[in-house]
Amino acid sequence: MSITETAWEFFEACETGKGGEVCKAWCHDYATFSCQAGALADVTSVAGYADWMKGILGPLPDGRYELKAFSADEGRSAVTVAAVFKGTHTGDGGPIPPTGKSTATDYVYVLDFDGGKICHMTKIWNDLPALQDLGWA
Protein backbone atom coordinates (compact mmCIF):
# COMPACT_ATOMS: atom_id res chain seq x y z
CA MET A 1 0.00 0.00 0.00
CA SER A 2 1.34 3.45 -0.89
CA ILE A 3 1.75 6.19 1.69
CA THR A 4 -1.08 8.03 -0.05
CA GLU A 5 -3.46 5.11 0.44
CA THR A 6 -2.31 4.57 4.02
CA ALA A 7 -2.70 8.26 4.83
CA TRP A 8 -6.18 8.40 3.34
CA GLU A 9 -7.39 5.33 5.25
CA PHE A 10 -5.92 6.69 8.49
CA PHE A 11 -7.35 10.18 7.93
CA GLU A 12 -10.84 8.88 7.21
CA ALA A 13 -10.81 6.59 10.29
CA CYS A 14 -9.40 9.31 12.55
CA GLU A 15 -11.76 12.05 11.40
CA THR A 16 -14.86 9.87 11.74
CA GLY A 17 -14.03 8.96 15.34
CA LYS A 18 -12.88 5.37 15.03
CA GLY A 19 -10.33 5.94 17.83
CA GLY A 20 -6.80 4.89 18.59
CA GLU A 21 -7.27 1.12 18.49
CA VAL A 22 -8.54 1.23 14.90
CA CYS A 23 -6.08 3.91 13.76
CA LYS A 24 -3.08 1.93 15.05
CA ALA A 25 -3.42 -0.27 11.94
CA TRP A 26 -1.72 2.44 9.86
CA CYS A 27 0.86 3.53 12.44
CA HIS A 28 4.00 2.31 14.15
CA ASP A 29 3.43 1.44 17.81
CA TYR A 30 5.67 4.36 18.79
CA ALA A 31 3.97 6.91 16.48
CA THR A 32 4.25 10.34 18.07
CA PHE A 33 2.01 13.39 17.84
CA SER A 34 2.66 17.11 18.19
CA CYS A 35 0.52 20.22 18.06
CA GLN A 36 1.07 23.71 19.43
CA ALA A 37 -2.63 24.16 20.32
CA GLY A 38 -3.41 24.31 24.03
CA ALA A 39 -6.38 21.94 23.66
CA LEU A 40 -3.95 19.20 22.62
CA ALA A 41 -1.01 20.06 24.88
CA ASP A 42 -1.12 16.73 26.71
CA VAL A 43 -1.50 14.53 23.60
CA THR A 44 1.81 12.93 22.58
CA SER A 45 0.86 9.86 20.53
CA VAL A 46 -1.08 9.38 17.31
CA ALA A 47 -3.30 6.83 19.06
CA GLY A 48 -3.97 9.39 21.80
CA TYR A 49 -4.94 11.96 19.20
CA ALA A 50 -7.27 9.51 17.46
CA ASP A 51 -8.93 8.89 20.83
CA TRP A 52 -9.22 12.66 21.35
CA MET A 53 -10.98 12.95 17.98
CA LYS A 54 -13.34 10.13 18.98
CA GLY A 55 -14.08 12.00 22.20
CA ILE A 56 -14.76 15.34 20.50
CA LEU A 57 -17.60 13.76 18.56
CA GLY A 58 -19.52 13.38 21.84
CA PRO A 59 -20.16 17.10 22.34
CA LEU A 60 -20.06 17.69 18.55
CA PRO A 61 -22.10 14.72 17.24
CA ASP A 62 -22.42 16.27 13.78
CA GLY A 63 -18.63 16.77 13.57
CA ARG A 64 -17.32 16.32 10.06
CA TYR A 65 -14.51 17.45 7.82
CA GLU A 66 -14.43 19.31 4.53
CA LEU A 67 -11.31 18.29 2.64
CA LYS A 68 -9.38 21.17 1.06
CA ALA A 69 -6.18 19.46 -0.12
CA PHE A 70 -4.42 16.12 0.09
CA SER A 71 -0.90 15.61 -1.22
CA ALA A 72 1.98 13.17 -0.93
CA ASP A 73 5.66 14.01 -0.99
CA GLU A 74 7.22 10.63 -1.70
CA GLY A 75 10.75 12.04 -1.50
CA ARG A 76 10.21 13.16 2.07
CA SER A 77 7.92 10.25 2.98
CA ALA A 78 5.20 12.64 4.06
CA VAL A 79 1.54 13.34 3.33
CA THR A 80 -0.14 16.67 3.98
CA VAL A 81 -3.87 17.04 4.51
CA ALA A 82 -5.67 20.38 4.78
CA ALA A 83 -9.28 20.49 5.88
CA VAL A 84 -11.97 22.36 7.77
CA PHE A 85 -13.60 20.67 10.77
CA LYS A 86 -17.21 21.66 11.30
CA GLY A 87 -19.48 20.86 14.20
CA THR A 88 -22.18 22.12 16.55
CA HIS A 89 -22.13 21.65 20.33
CA THR A 90 -25.41 19.80 20.82
CA GLY A 91 -24.15 16.68 22.59
CA ASP A 92 -22.96 15.90 26.08
CA GLY A 93 -19.35 15.57 27.13
CA GLY A 94 -18.00 19.03 26.45
CA PRO A 95 -16.46 21.33 29.02
CA ILE A 96 -19.87 22.96 29.58
CA PRO A 97 -23.49 21.97 28.82
CA PRO A 98 -24.45 22.12 25.12
CA THR A 99 -24.34 25.65 23.75
CA GLY A 100 -25.89 25.05 20.34
CA LYS A 101 -23.00 27.04 18.89
CA SER A 102 -21.03 25.94 15.81
CA THR A 103 -17.50 26.16 14.52
CA ALA A 104 -15.70 25.78 11.22
CA THR A 105 -12.00 25.51 12.01
CA ASP A 106 -9.08 25.12 9.59
CA TYR A 107 -6.31 22.61 10.25
CA VAL A 108 -3.47 20.80 8.52
CA TYR A 109 -2.00 17.37 9.20
CA VAL A 110 1.54 16.44 8.25
CA LEU A 111 1.93 12.67 8.40
CA ASP A 112 5.52 11.38 8.43
CA PHE A 113 6.16 7.83 7.29
CA ASP A 114 8.80 5.20 7.96
CA GLY A 115 8.59 1.90 6.11
CA GLY A 116 5.07 2.58 4.87
CA LYS A 117 3.56 3.34 8.28
CA ILE A 118 2.93 6.63 10.08
CA CYS A 119 5.70 7.37 12.58
CA HIS A 120 4.78 10.98 13.47
CA MET A 121 1.85 13.32 13.00
CA THR A 122 1.90 17.09 13.32
CA LYS A 123 -1.38 18.97 13.55
CA ILE A 124 -1.24 22.65 12.67
CA TRP A 125 -4.27 24.28 14.27
CA ASN A 126 -5.17 27.49 16.07
CA ASP A 127 -7.64 26.13 18.62
CA LEU A 128 -8.68 29.44 20.24
CA PRO A 129 -11.09 30.61 17.49
CA ALA A 130 -12.82 27.19 17.53
CA LEU A 131 -13.12 27.20 21.32
CA GLN A 132 -14.53 30.75 21.21
CA ASP A 133 -17.00 29.83 18.44
CA LEU A 134 -18.34 26.99 20.58
CA GLY A 135 -18.57 29.15 23.71
CA TRP A 136 -15.87 27.08 25.45
CA ALA A 137 -13.39 29.96 25.90
DSSP 40: G
Cα atoms in the Cβ-side hemisphere of radius 13 Å centred on 65? 20
Helix 3-15 × helix 46-56 angle, to 10°: 40
How confident is the model at residue 93, as a pLDDT? 85
Neighbours of 33 (CB within 10 A): 20
Q: What is the pTM of this model?
A: 0.96
Q: Of 32-41, 58-67, 89-98, which gets the smallest average pLDDT?
A: 89-98
Domains of the chain with bracketed CATH? 3-133 (3.10.450.50)
Encode pLDDT of 67-119 as tens digits.
999 999 999 999 999 999 999 999 998 899 999 999 999 999 999 999 999 99
Q: How far is CA 39 from the centre of its chain?
A: 12
